[in-house]
Amino acid sequence: MAMIEIQHITKKFGSFTAVNNLSLSIESGQLFGFLGPNGAGKTTTIKMLTGLYEPTSGHCFINGHDVHWTPLEAKRSFGYVPDQPFLYDKLSGREFLHFVGGLFGMPYESVKAKVDEVKDYFEIGSFMDKRAEEYSQGMKQRIVLSAALMHNPPVLIIDEPIVGLDPRSARLVKDVLKQKTKEGLTVFMSTHLLEVVEELCDRIAIIKNGRIIYEDVPAQRNGDLEEMFLELTK
Amino acid sequence: MRELLVVLNTRAQSFLKHAFEFRWQSLVQNLSSLLIFGGFTIAVFFISRSVTDYAMSQAHIGLFLFHRFLSMLLYVFFVTVNVGNMIVSFGTLYRSQEVGFLMSLPISHAKIFLIKFVDNFFYSSSTLTLIGLAVLLGYGSYFDMPWYFYFVVIFLVMLPFMLISGILAVTALMLLIRIGARIGFRLLLMLLVGAYGASVYAYFRITNPMALVEDVMKLWPNVNDYLGYLDPQFVKFLPNHWVAEFLYWSINGDPARAVPYLALLVLTMLGLIAVAGLMARKFYYESWLAVSNLQAAKNNSASKPPGLFRLDGKNLFSPKLDALMRRDFWLFFREPSQWLHLVLMFVLLLMFVVSVATMNIRFDSPGMETNAFLIVFLFNGFLVASICLRFIFPLVSLEGDAFWVIRSAPIVMNRLYWYKVLGSMGVVLALAETLTISSVFLFSQSVYLTTIAAIMMFFVVLTLVGTNVAAGGYFAVFKEKNPMRIASSQGASLTFLGSMVYLTFVSTLLVIPFNRYFQQSEFAGMATPHWMHWSFILIGLISMAIFFLSSFIGVKALRRSG
């Protein structure tokens, strides 16, 4: 069954078409890599997928729910990590996780248990009681990732997960993504880092000027991904 | 000097680009703000002219007394500009990210101070300047003053007057932060609030307006003579007195006695700028570091907050409602500019209620009684409008860059909107009703009037909270983190002016019924004011119409924002 289904979505900003008639289908348990040069339409696609933008035309389905017609059901089915992980400066990481748990309607005991779980998973225990004002990009990223997994969603939508992370944090995130995918999580990941794609992704698509120009399964592909990416996107 | 010009030039260019950027939405916003600002200015102009006309031609209070009242008003204006600058400057001079960036550049600290002071002054004083100028124009036009009078008053009298107030505020803040680092900021804050309260109390205690009126009226009909010997000595050192004296002598056509006051204002302003520059060179960086250190220490302390409202505490309501309420609670009380301003507003409210309670005024006519009652009611409305502007208008904008968390969560935007409206309404209503019931009852001693005022205040709160949440969503500035800057943005000023128009409308509808009520009380025993209720019903209906219309706009704005 397709966990994420994008049907002919187009997004126009005035006369500029950011995403043009894009369709994709991602199966349950897949780690999907969404590649493209800057300004290709990756973040716009993700924002439509998460309900932050309304498509000019077309539909997005998550776990069978139309993001724009049944947004609440769709939103309960995914966790989202944006490219800029803005937090509330005046709240601590722990408070932020409790806040997100509350927004997803999780009862107190479940939130508490889940916070303890993600605390170990993402090694955030040492700073999670400090206010977010003092966090580095990597710390924020780990808190936001933890928040995205708080409600055990079947889908994770993640925009540039490794940017700004130190090598240890990057390893941690990659391991979590691998582990969670094995457990059945479907991941839609946008990234610039080709080595991450090669290491993690079951499937990739390259977007340029709002259109998918290439789709592939990295494991079956012969040749250098970087060379091919540069060739396709020049 | 060169770097100062570069920074100011960049800011001016950025402002001009923003101001002249063509977008339909900004065009509509600019046109509507022009209309409302223009209308408001014209209304203030006519009110000022009528009040001057009334005081001079009907009440015959004389030029001297009139200018002493003007001096008192200017004192309140001076303190308001001062408080506004002090509060806003804490955000602009010490907490803004731009200061951190400028500190990393080879620019002297005194210049950064100057750049941010100018920024701060225009942000916190623009609406007050507009009101001040409209009052001045109305006053000047009554006395048929020539065009250059306005030019001189605007640039050489009012601007220095306001700058004196602003510079005193930021210079004092610089020193207070140094003191606060030693004695603790909580104690300092209490002392500061006490000092402001004491200064206003002492001023009116010493100038004693009631005694002044009696003293001047004993000299009737020579009330236009200069009676400076009645002034207490200390007021002669105050800038508001200098402005009043300049105006008095200008109106009397005696420039030789007016100009020294103008010189005094300009020289004091220049002197204070020089002193502030010197002090900034020595203390600004130090005080900025003190605030940064304090902030860092606070942020790095891993202590959990005590109490019922802990975000990681057990739920009291549904998880969603709980999460939103607790988040808002902590975001509010962890932001010093929020609770600090709230404390100051509480002190002002308290002072107002105490002043009303201790007033001992005899009314000679039902007309005077009506005016006095409406002034008390209107002032309550004005306070509620100020609270709404300062704390309710920024609610949507303060969702800020982190709004993605809510927008990507299963939260219905309509519910989020109503949570904001009803949550704020509960708080504002409790405050407004306490204020209204205590002030109106203490003032009028009438249960009937108090009940009516309480009902009218409910509609005022309904309208003002509704329009402020809605307009806050429509004019949302998600990039701005400073709530005071959000509350002094163009959209906020527009909303505030709209609130003033609404309050004027409500008061106008109340004039005739209350005047008749007081007439009947005076001449025909107990009043039977059943006919008054039509005005109240009209106010109620119009208020509800505004509330629902603004809610419709607000929900739409919230859905499309973020």
Residues of A in contact with B316 (CB under 8 A): none
Locate all alpha helices (DSSP H) within B301-391, ordered by sequence. 319-333, 336-358, 366-387
Mean pLDDT of B123-127: 70
Tell me the pLDDT tens digit for each residue of A31-72.
999 999 888 899 999 999 998 888 999 999 999 999 988 988
- Comparison of pLDDT for B19 and B329, the residue scoring more: B329
| CB within 8 Å: A102 and B319 | yes
From the CB of residue A81, how many other CB atoms can be counted at a distance below 10 Å? 23
Residues 484-513 of B with CB under 8 A from A: none
How far off is chain B from A134, nearest CA to CA, in Å?
7
Q: At what angle do helices B159-183 and B255-279 cross, to 10 degrees?
A: 30
Q: What percent of chain A has pLDDT over 70?
A: 97
- Comparison of pLDDT for B359 and A214, the residue scoring more: A214
Q: How many residues does chain A have?
A: 234
Tell me the CA distances in angstroms from B394 to B176, B196, B333, B388, B482, one per residue in order: 28, 26, 15, 9, 9
A–B: how many Cβ contacts below 8 A? 108
| CB within 8 Å: A98 and B311 | yes
Q: What is the pLDDT of residue A13?
A: 86
| CB within 8 Å: A95 and B330 | yes
| CB within 8 Å: A108 and B319 | yes
* pLDDT score of B391 more than 90: yes
Mean pLDDT of B222-227: 78
Which residues, at least 6 apart from B323, have a Cβ–Cβ distance to it below 8 Å? Answer: A98, A99, A100, A101, A102, A103, B311
| CB within 8 Å: A90 and B330 | yes
How far off is chain B from A124, nearest CA to CA, in Å?
13
* pLDDT score of B214 more than 60: yes
Tell me the pLDDT tens digit for each residue of A83-131.
888 888 888 999 999 999 999 989 888 999 999 998 888 889 889 998 8
Residues of B in contact with A87 (CB under 8 A): 402
What's the rounded Cα separation, in Å, for the pair B445 and B190?
A: 33
Return the HEC string of B261-274: HHHHHHHHHHHHHH
Tell me the pLDDT tens digit for each residue of A3-28.
999 999 999 988 889 999 999 999 99
What's the rounded Cα separation, in Å, for the pair A142 and A184?
A: 21
Q: What is the pLDDT of residue B510?
A: 87
* pLDDT score of B439 more than 90: no
Mean pLDDT of B137-161: 90
Is A232 touching B (CB cutoff 8 A)? no
Residues of B in contact with A98 (CB under 8 A): 311-312, 323
CATH topology of domain A2-77+153-233: Rossmann fold (3.40.50)
| pLDDT band at residue B118 using 50, 70 and 90 as cut-offs | confident
Q: What is the pLDDT of residue B525?
A: 60
How far off is chain A from B312, nearest CA to CA, in Å?
6
| Burial bucket for residue A234 (CB in 10 Å: 0-12, 13-18, 19+) | exposed
What's the rounded Cα separation, in Å, for the pair B463 and B502?
A: 9
Which residues, at least 6 apart from B544, have a Cβ–Cβ distance to it below 8 Å? Answer: B459, B462
* pLDDT score of B94 more than 70: yes
Tell me the CA distances in angstroms from B153 to A228, B137, B160, B261, B517, one per residue in order: 72, 10, 10, 11, 43
* pLDDT score of B384 more than 60: yes
| Burial bucket for residue B490 (CB in 10 Å: 0-12, 13-18, 19+) | middle
Q: What is the pLDDT of residue B552?
A: 94
Q: What is the pLDDT of residue B18?
A: 63
Order the strands of the A78-81 sheet from edge to edge. A78-81, A155-159, A186-190, A31-35, A203-208, A211-216
Tell me the pLDDT tens digit for each residue of B449-503.
888 889 999 999 999 999 999 999 999 988 888 888 888 787 888 898 889 889 9
Is A76 touching B (CB cutoff 8 A)? yes
* B131 within 8 A of B220, measured Cβ to Cβ: no
| CB within 8 Å: B408 and A50 | yes
Q: Supply φ then ψ for residue A116, to 5 degrees.
A: -60, -35
| pLDDT band at residue A221 using 50, 70 and 90 as cut-offs | low
Kindly state the helix (H) or strand (E) to which residue A157 belongs, with its residue range: strand A155-159
| pLDDT band at residue B528 using 50, 70 and 90 as cut-offs | low
* B499 within 8 A of B370, measured Cβ to Cβ: no
Tokens 């000092």 map to which residue? B195
How far off is chain B from A21, nearest CA to CA, in Å?
23
Closest-approach residue (CA) in chain A for B478: A86
* pLDDT score of B562 more than 70: no
- DSSP character for B230? G
Q: What is the pLDDT of residue A192?
A: 81
What's the rounded Cα separation, in Å, for the pair B426 and B424?
A: 5
Tell me the pLDDT tens digit for each residue of B40-82.
788 788 888 888 898 888 878 888 989 999 999 899 889 888 8
* B71 within 8 A of B235, measured Cβ to Cβ: yes
Q: What is the pLDDT of residue A229?
A: 81
Instruction: Name the residue type at position B336.
Output: P
Residues of A in contact with B481 (CB under 8 A): 89
| pLDDT band at residue B560 using 50, 70 and 90 as cut-offs | confident
3 state SS of B223: coil
* pLDDT score of B299 more than 60: no
* pLDDT score of B207 more than 90: no
* pLDDT score of B3 more than 70: no
Q: What is the pLDDT of residue B385?
A: 92
Mean pLDDT of A203-212: 92
Residues of B in contact with A145 (CB under 8 A): none
Task: Give the domain ranges of chain A.
Answer: 2-77+153-233, 90-152
Residues of A in contact with B411 (CB under 8 A): 103
Is A80 touching B (CB cutoff 8 A)? yes
**Range of lowest pLDDT (A58-62, A75-79, B300-304):** B300-304
Looking at every residue in chain B, the average pLDDT score rounds to: 84
- Comparison of pLDDT for B22 and B482, the residue scoring more: B482
| pLDDT band at residue A78 using 50, 70 and 90 as cut-offs | very high
| Burial bucket for residue B10 (CB in 10 Å: 0-12, 13-18, 19+) | exposed
Tell me the pLDDT tens digit for each residue of B252-264.
999 999 999 999 9
Mean pLDDT of B425-445: 87
What's the rounded Cα separation, in Å, for the pair B278 and B284?
A: 10
Give the nearest partner residue to A90 out of B304, B323, B334, using CB atoms: B334
Is B445 touching A (CB cutoff 8 A)? no
- Comparison of pLDDT for B24 and B270, the residue scoring more: B270
Q: What is the pLDDT of residue B466?
A: 96
Tell me the CA distances in angstroms from B221 to A52, B224, B254, one per residue in order: 73, 8, 21
Mean pLDDT of B304-312: 69
* pLDDT score of B19 more than 70: no
B55-80 burial, b at 16+ Cβ within 10 Å, e below that, comes to: bbeeeebbbbbbbbbbbbebbebbbe
* pLDDT score of B431 more than 70: yes
Q: Supply φ then ψ for residue A7, to 5 degrees.
A: -115, 105
* B188 within 8 A of B172, measured Cβ to Cβ: no
